[in-house]
Chain A
């Protein structure tokens, strides 16, 4: 922690200056994050909704009791967990392999970057439009599978309960790969070249050298990517909203989508706050994990 030895150059009567510098930030944060979060906590103990002119009515733990009994909620929890388990390992490993593959002079590396960064930069709405073309009943995937004789019938990628969630997961992976690859590429730059040369003398070459050297040295980065992608995956909303609207039969409904649906479609405001609180607890756990990892790694130059 940097300490300013500024007592000398801060005359009395100027004690208010730091607070003036901080005031705009504190006001905005208080208004949009801090107070609303506390308010949401309070609302989750009340009955408040449809008729917004009525003030919230304190009902104690009723929302929480309902939450525990709410089958749809548990389906969304299950979906979010499936989503996490499906997306996070792939996003932790695949970008690393790709980063190792391209961490050398390759012709056309510029195009390569465009190919992987474009999905990162485009909005989920645009991504959703592009992917619907591939997933549609007469879309590219089905045309290809039918045309090549691999399948007899078109696959309902987005409209069958078994496939809707995996189809959404594919879009998330498509969008995230380039992002995490950048983190890994930056990490690979920190590994000294002599290490590989020394390893080559000891007979460690090819992919073995990556197993012996790259993997251990990249461990902090792998942890970082795992936690960042896990937090992002827990909050998945827009992909679901654009591609499936949570359907069919709740098969792709995630916790955040459920919060949105309860609040703005069912108008069960206070119940939505209760679901949001459950989400908060999950993210809090992941974030604490992340802070602990941050502290133990040198991977974050600004810390």
Chain B
């Protein structure tokens, strides 16, 4: 550690400095650690609870596992097995995936096409259209629920996956177009013009140049949209209504919270499983999440 040729003469000041450093930074470390522990508490409690026996779960809080005597035997994996085996929950996870994947892919595809047109094509009304689309960011989605639901009822779309896909696609669209248009607009002009001079059609430029080069922006939009749809409760609640066959995890968990008692062991394990996918998506694509966030993410 000490590069000096004569360790003795150097060791003392170094040690002193290290001690000094420890003492000056200690308060900072303690504060950071304290807040961090506090912030971990709710989810840590959920994790611990999810491994406890159903009876114990009902009788005492998760923090009691730390009071002696400590028995490792009180933990088990049964709750997870029950959740995965129970029909409602397994179906709910499947539903969440069925809802989330198309509701992420559809807006990406549609928004990228539109963003390219708005960034690189010349046509009357381009500027106005872009301003209007971005302006729709201001509309709170809560305002649109009733008229959309009315149309869905007449078309038979309420309680169907298609209805939820369409709604999420629309609600995510202004932010997606805004983010992608701004990114695609910064791509090198020479590249696109050169391709055009070579006779490439718009479609070819789009698939060969625009999409590959826009991967970072597409990824940030994808992370946002995925997390948003996966965690959504309101849209599912309104458009899927009471139809349990198509209910996503959030809705099923919420109903379990409602009827207190019996199913707390399913609730904790289910809640934890529902966290795993967003956490994986987030930590895998963290970089893009931060970029998208800085591009200003306000939606719904």
A residues bordering B, Cβ < 8 Å? 1-7, 9-10, 15, 17-19, 21-22, 24-26, 28-29, 31-37, 39-40, 43, 52, 98, 101-102, 106, 111-112, 115-134, 136, 138-140, 143, 174, 177-179, 182-183, 186, 224, 228, 231-232, 235, 237-238, 241-242, 256, 259-260, 263-264, 269, 272-273, 276-277, 279-280, 283-284, 287, 290, 294, 299-303
Q: Chain A residues near B141: list those with CB within 8 A.
A: 33
With the chains together, A21 CA to B278 CA distance in Å? 31
Q: Chain B residues near A301: list those with CB within 8 A.
A: 291, 294-295
The reply to whether B234 and A237 contact each other, CB–CB distance below 8 Å, is yes
With the chains together, A18 CA to B283 CA distance in Å? 37
Q: Does B75 contact A (CB under 8 A)?
A: no
Q: Contact string, B164-198, partner A, CB cutoff 8 A, digits 1/0?
A: 00110111011001010011011001001100110
The reply to whether A22 and B298 contact each other, CB–CB distance below 8 Å, is no
Q: Chain A residues near B15: list those with CB within 8 A.
A: none
The reply to whether A28 and B231 contact each other, CB–CB distance below 8 Å, is no
Point out the residue from A28, A112, A119, A242 that lies within 8 Å of B43, measured CB to CB: A119
The reply to whether B136 and A29 contact each other, CB–CB distance below 8 Å, is yes
Point out the residue from B114, B147, B282 that lies within 8 Å of A117, measured CB to CB: B282
Q: Contact string, B127-151, partner A, CB cutoff 8 A, digits 1/0?
A: 1010001001111111111111011
- The tally of residues in B whose CB lies under 8 Å from a CB in A reads 101
22 CB < 8 A contacts A-B: A1-B185, A22-B114, A24-B114, A26-B114, A36-B146, A120-B282, A122-B275, A124-B233, A125-B257, A125-B274, A126-B46, A129-B257, A129-B271, A174-B39, A241-B233, A277-B143, A279-B140, A279-B142, A284-B138, A287-B137, A290-B298, A300-B295
The reply to whether B278 and A121 contact each other, CB–CB distance below 8 Å, is yes
The reply to whether B42 and A43 contact each other, CB–CB distance below 8 Å, is no
With the chains together, A228 CA to B293 CA distance in Å? 11
Q: Chain B residues near A139: list those with CB within 8 A.
A: 61
Rank and list the top 10 A-B pairs by shortest CB-CB distance, nearest first.
A32-B170, A123-B231, A36-B144, A25-B114, A130-B42, A21-B117, A39-B147, A36-B147, A302-B182, A9-B196
The reply to whether B147 and A140 contact each other, CB–CB distance below 8 Å, is no
Q: Chain A residues near B35: list those with CB within 8 A.
A: 98
The reply to whether B121 and A21 contact each other, CB–CB distance below 8 Å, is yes
**How many Å from the CB of B31 to the closest CB on chain A?**
7
The reply to whether B31 and A132 contact each other, CB–CB distance below 8 Å, is no
The reply to whether B142 and A259 contact each other, CB–CB distance below 8 Å, is yes
Q: Does B238 contact A (CB under 8 A)?
A: yes
Contacts A17-B121, A21-B117, A174-B42 supplied; 11 other A-B pairs, CB < 8 Å: A9-B197, A18-B123, A18-B126, A40-B146, A123-B250, A125-B233, A133-B45, A183-B294, A238-B234, A241-B234, A273-B146
With the chains together, A134 CA to B46 CA distance in Å? 10
Q: Chain A residues near B293: list those with CB within 8 A.
A: 179, 182-183, 186
The reply to whether A25 and B113 contact each other, CB–CB distance below 8 Å, is yes
* Residues A132 and B169 in contact in the complex (CB < 8 Å), given A122-B231, A264-B238, A273-B146: no
With the chains together, A58 CA to B274 CA distance in Å? 45
Q: Does B230 contact A (CB under 8 A)?
A: yes
The reply to whether A101 and B142 contact each other, CB–CB distance below 8 Å, is no
Point out the residue from B42, B120, B146 that lies within 8 Å of A263, measured CB to CB: B146
With the chains together, A26 CA to B129 CA distance in Å? 9
Q: Does B290 contact A (CB under 8 A)?
A: yes
With the chains together, A106 CA to B206 CA distance in Å? 44
The reply to whether A131 and B140 contact each other, CB–CB distance below 8 Å, is no
The reply to whether A101 and B43 contact each other, CB–CB distance below 8 Å, is no
Q: Does B49 contact A (CB under 8 A)?
A: yes
Q: Chain A residues near B295: list those with CB within 8 A.
A: 300-303
Q: Does B28 contact A (CB under 8 A)?
A: yes
Point out the residue from B61, B150, B250, B294 that lies within 8 Å of A125, measured CB to CB: B250
Closest to A276 in B: B143
Q: Chain B residues near A179: list those with CB within 8 A.
A: 293
Closest to B252 in A: A125
Point out the residue from B40, B167, B183, B271 that lies within 8 Å of A32, measured CB to CB: B167
The reply to whether A302 and B110 contact each other, CB–CB distance below 8 Å, is no
The reply to whether B41 and A280 contact each other, CB–CB distance below 8 Å, is no
**How many Å from the CB of A109 to the closest CB on chain B?**
10
